[in-house]
């Protein structure tokens, strides 16, 4: 079967173009959406992520602020930064890059963010809104990006059997809640490490969302002919032939799975590029809602 490769870069560009138009209208109305990104410490991966978020804001004409705190910042110092940003009317979205150093209670920091500025969608109030299907909340960026990829690829979720592999609050559970909502209307199964015959469970699926963080976990025998496969995994595997000594692979054994699929996301270039796009989209939503 000819499988459609879902190009996350193209869809992300489309989302960002929509965002660009909204930014123009907001600016015309005197509002410049603002995103604050808080980085504690100097984890190299986090530094790269934060830099790319700030760069994307600049490209789009969004106001952004990067706040860097040293590796040994106290919990109170981080909290104070968040509280100041909550009070700052030029800032509509606040993101504290994960993971912070161990002396920071990340859960407490997330709960301290004003839910109306919680563009990551991890505050309990937004978690509840997702479960309650209250559209005023913020949906976590990665599952929101997956839904958008499915939509853009023309994959019908209504009535489909969807299997989500993984039950984290970052991806698995919100993804399941989105798919089973009145908007998604899929019949959703959440599979995980304790699932007995995971291959058989996956073979039932019209849509598979893999979010387990294990390279090449989903193999061809686990995929029904014609299924759509969304690969959330981004795993580093050693590769001496690669410039950096490693390469990025997903949770899906792409080469063997792709030929069976109706549609599939590659890694990299699938779900990855969507995350920043959905973050920008959430920031615009926050700016809009703050001026309603």
CB of 116 to a second copy, least distance (A): 14
Catalytic residue among 56, 117, 118, 120: 120
Candidate ranges 27-35, 51-59, 185-193, 253-261; the one touching a second copy (CB under 8 A): 185-193
Q: Give yes or no for residue 161 binding a second copy (CB under 8 A).
A: yes
Q: Give yes or no for residue 192 binding a second copy (CB under 8 A).
A: yes
Q: In 152-276, which ranges are E strands?
A: 161-165, 187-191, 207-210, 228-231, 235-238, 246-249, 263-264
Give the DSSP letter of residue 100. Answer: P
97 is catalytic: yes
Per-residue contact track with a second copy, 164 to 183, x per CB under 8 A? ---x-x---x--xx--x---
Alpha carbons 99 and 104: distance in angstroms, whole number:
9
Give the closest residue to 165 by CA, choosing from 127, 218, 116, 215. Answer: 218
Size of the site for a second copy (CB under 8 A): 29
Q: In what order do the strands lie in the sheet with 34-40?
A: 63-69, 34-40, 93-96
Alpha carbons 271 and 77: distance in angstroms, whole number:
33
Q: Name which of residues 85 to 144 contact a second copy (CB under 8 A).
A: 124-125, 127-129, 131-132
Alpha carbons 35 and 86: distance in angstroms, whole number:
11
Instruction: Please say which residue, 46 or 168, places its beta carbon nearer to a second copy.
Output: 168
CB of 42 to a second copy, least distance (A): 29
Candidate ranges 1-9, 186-194, 213-221, 281-289; the one touching a second copy (CB under 8 A): 186-194
Active site residues: 53, 97, 120
């Amino acid at each position: 079967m000819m499988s459609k490769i879902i190009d996350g870069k193209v869809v992300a560009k489309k989302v960002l173009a929509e965002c660009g138009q909204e930014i123009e209208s907001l600016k015309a109305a005197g509002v410049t959406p603002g995103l604050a990104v808080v980085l504690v410490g100097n984890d190299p991966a986090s530094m790269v992520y934060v830099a790319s978020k700030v760069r994307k804001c600049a490209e789009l004409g969004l106001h952004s602020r990067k706040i860097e705190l040293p590796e040994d910042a106290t919990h109170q110092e981080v909290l104070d930064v968040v509280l100041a940003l909550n009070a700052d009317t030029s800032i509509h979205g606040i993101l504290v890059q994960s993971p912070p150093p161990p002396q920071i209670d990340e859960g407490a920091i997330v709960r301290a963010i004003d839910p109306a500025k919680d563009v990551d969608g991890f505050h309990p109030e937004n978690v509840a809104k997702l479960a309650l299907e209250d559209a005023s909340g913020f949906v976590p960026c990665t599952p929101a990006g997956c839904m958008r990829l499915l939509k853009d690829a023309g994959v019908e979720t209504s009535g489909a059997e969807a299997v989500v592999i993984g039950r984290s609050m970052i991806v698995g559970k919100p993804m399941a809640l989105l798919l089973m909502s009145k908007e998604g209307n899929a019949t959703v199964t959440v599979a995980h490490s304790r699932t007995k015959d995971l291959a058989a469970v996956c073979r039932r699926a019209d849509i598979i969302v893999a979010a387990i963080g294990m390279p090449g976990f989903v193999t061809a025998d686990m995929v029904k002919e014609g299924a759509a496969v969304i690969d959330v995994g981004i795993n580093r595997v050693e590769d001496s032939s690669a410039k950096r000594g490693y390469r990025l692979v997903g949770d899906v054994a792409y080469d063997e799975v792709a030929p069976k699929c109706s549609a599939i996301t590659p890694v990299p270039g699938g779900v990855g590029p969507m995350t920043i796009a959905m973050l920008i989209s959430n920031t615009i939503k926050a700016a809009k809602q703050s001026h309603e």
